Amino acid sequence: MHATKENSVIELNAKRDSLIYNLEREDIILDRVALLDEVAKFNSKVLTSQNNIDNLWLNWFTDPAYEEIEPIDLESFK
C-alpha cells in the first residue's frame, strides 16, 4: 500500500488518540513521566512539521498530513 496523506492523517490521529486515552486514564499502567515525555515529543513533531510545511526549503521533507493534526493540550489534563 502506498503512503497517502489520508493514511498518514489516520495514523497520526490514532497516535494522538492513544496518547489522549492514556492521559485520561486514572489507573495508568505507563509511567506518567514517560507518557508526558511521549506527548511532548509528539507535540514537538507536530509543531515543527507544521512550521516546515510553510518553509520552501523544508516542505519537501515534511509529511503534509501534519497540517491536519492538532497538538495535545496538556493543560486540559492537569
Total number of domains in the chain: 1
Give the structural domain span for 16: 5-69
Question: Could you tell me if residue 76 is inside a domain?
Answer: no
Is 77 within the bounds of a domain? no
pLDDT, tens digit, 9 for 90 and up, residues 10-54: 999 999 999 999 888 877 666 888 899 999 999 999 999 999 998
Domain presence at residue 28: yes
In a domain, 45, yes or no: yes
pTM recorded for the entire structure? 0.84
Q: Is residue 75 part of a domain?
A: no
* Alpha-carbon span 48 to 40, nearest angstrom: 12
Strand, helix or coil for residue 28: coil
